[in-house]
């Protein structure tokens, strides 16, 4: 994040100066333009910082969504039956294995897994149906769409993996039910805007992605 602060500081200092300072003002006696510049500088700084930090927050959201999608896709595929990889619920990757796939991708976008927000409670997903409505070898527990899908976490609650998630919640069309794996992550974020109280507020950027479970 040090490079980001350097860029932000450079934008704050250089752009207003280049846009508003007229070197001829040095020779003028009235200096009205300098007063106007002093009035506009705080607002201009807020706008520049707002654009910069909003772009960064959107970049973080896109990164979390992409990484969660990759983790869900990995968690939805059972381990090779000949690889001896173990796993849960019929050989699916554990939450730790899913997190290990996500960590390098987070690091490539300069996000350490320790920077993720701790999700204290497991996400509440509706569980999918099983039995005659699903593949006969489904490891998902038999239930109905009023139950909660089972979840487990990794990295101290920073990465949650839920299995047997209903991919068609509220669908009463009679179509076959589909189960999936959902990955949830979050990132604490604040907008450090100068001359504004908004920078003192902490926001949470959340990403939840589900992929169809393969049996």
Q: What is the pLDDT of residues 18-76, one digit of tens each?
A: 555 555 555 555 566 666 777 777 777 777 877 888 888 899 999 999 999 999 999 98
Phi and psi at 176, nearest 5°, equal -55, 145
Query: What's the structural domain count of the chain?
Result: 1
The boundaries of the domain holding residue 49 are: 2-212
Give the max Cα distance, the chain.
Answer: 88
Tens-place pLDDT, residues 87-118: 566 678 889 999 999 999 999 988 999 999 99
HSE on the CB side for 181, CA within 13 Å? 28
Tens-place pLDDT, residues 157-204: 999 999 888 887 777 666 667 788 999 999 998 877 666 666 667 889
Percent of the chain at pLDDT > 90 equals: 30
Residues near 164 by Cβ (< 8 Å), separated by ≥ 6?
Answer: 89, 127, 128, 130, 140, 141, 149, 150, 179, 180, 213
């Amino acid at each position: 994040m040090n490079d980001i602060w350097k860029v932000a500081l450079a934008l704050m200092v250089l752009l207003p100066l280049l846009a508003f300072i007229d070197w001829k003002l040095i020779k003028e006696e009235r200096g009205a333009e300098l007063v106007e510049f002093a009035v506009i500088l705080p607002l201009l700084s807020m706008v520049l910082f707002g654009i910069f930090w909003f772009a960064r927050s959107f970049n973080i959201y896109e990164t979390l969504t992409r990484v969660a999608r990759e983790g869900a896709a990995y968690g939805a595929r059972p381990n090779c039956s000949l690889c001896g990889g173990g796993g849960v619920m019929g050989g699916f990757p554990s939450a730790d294995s899913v997190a290990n796939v996500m960590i390098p991708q987070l690091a490539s976008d300069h996000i350490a897994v320790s920077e993720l927000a701790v999700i204290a409670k497991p996400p509440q997903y509706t569980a999918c149906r099983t039995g005659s409505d699903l593949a006969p070898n489904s490891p998902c527990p038999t239930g109905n769409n009023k139950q909660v899908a089972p979840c487990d976490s990794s990295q101290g609650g920073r990465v949650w993996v839920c299995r047997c998630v209903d991919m068609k919640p509220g669908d009463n069309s009679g179509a076959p039910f589909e189960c999936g794996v959902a990955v949830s992550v979050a990132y604490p974020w604040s907008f450090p805007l100068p001359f504004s109280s908004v920078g003192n507020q902490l926001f949470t950027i959340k990403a939840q992605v589900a992929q169809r479970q393969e049996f």
